[in-house]
């Protein structure tokens, strides 16, 4: 299967070498970032403790816990919990928990992107610089009026 991603790179997806079922998860692996060919690797999703032990040498609960730990890093906690300097904002810890509680696998959440955040901060800095320059100019004008 071929896919054109963002109109830039054509990626070829090679299906797994083993049959897949509804109990199979397929992940596509390439040789690195930007690989033009990705190869399907099939993983069986166990439905019992016995099957989990047989396939992956762990309990079904451990396997589920591993999956939850894997996707729990996906929400953008920084966007709600910390300021641009990495300090916890008021209510940030609670906001991060709400973000986790509302997370749905596969759903994309819009957060403030790094470019957008940088542009906002640059704009705020420019406004602050203008305010400081205006205050300096006004102070100089007042000194001149006062004859200093």
- For 52, 110, 114, 117, 127, the CA distances from 121, given in Å and listed in that order, are 49, 19, 10, 6, 10
- Looking only at Cα atoms, what is the longest distance across the chain? 91
pLDDT tens, position by position, 112-128? 566 676 777 777 777 77
* Residues 124-145 pLDDT 10s: 777 777 788 888 888 888 888 8
How many residues belong to the chain? 148
Q: What is the pLDDT of residues 12-44, one digit of tens each?
A: 999 999 999 999 999 999 988 888 999 999 999
Closest CA to 13 of 36, 42, 32: 36
Structure confidence at residue 138 (pLDDT)? 84
46-70: pLDDT as tens digits = 999 999 999 999 999 999 998 888 8
82: which DSSP letter? B
- Predicted local confidence at residue 134, as pLDDT: 83
Average pLDDT over residues 82-107: 86
List beta partners, residue 5. 9
């Amino acid at each position: 299967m071929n896919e054109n991603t963002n109109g830039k790179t054509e990626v070829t997806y090679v299906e797994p070498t083993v049959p897949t079922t509804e109990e199979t998860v397929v992940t596509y692996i390439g040789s690195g970032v930007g690989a033009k060919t990705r190869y399907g690797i099939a993983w069986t999703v166990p439905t019992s403790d016995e099957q989990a032990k047989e396939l992956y040498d762990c309990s079904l609960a451990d396997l589920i816990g591993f999956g939850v730990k894997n996707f729990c890093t996906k929400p953008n906690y920084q966007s709600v919990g910390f300021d641009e300097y990495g300090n916890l904002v008021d209510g940030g810890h609670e906001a991060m928990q709400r973000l986790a509680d509302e997370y749905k696998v596969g759903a994309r959440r819009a957060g403030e992107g790094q470019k957008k955040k940088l542009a906002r901060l640059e704009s705020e800095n420019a406004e602050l610089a203008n305010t400081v320059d205006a205050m300096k100019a006004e102070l100089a004008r007042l000194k001149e009026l006062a004859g200093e």
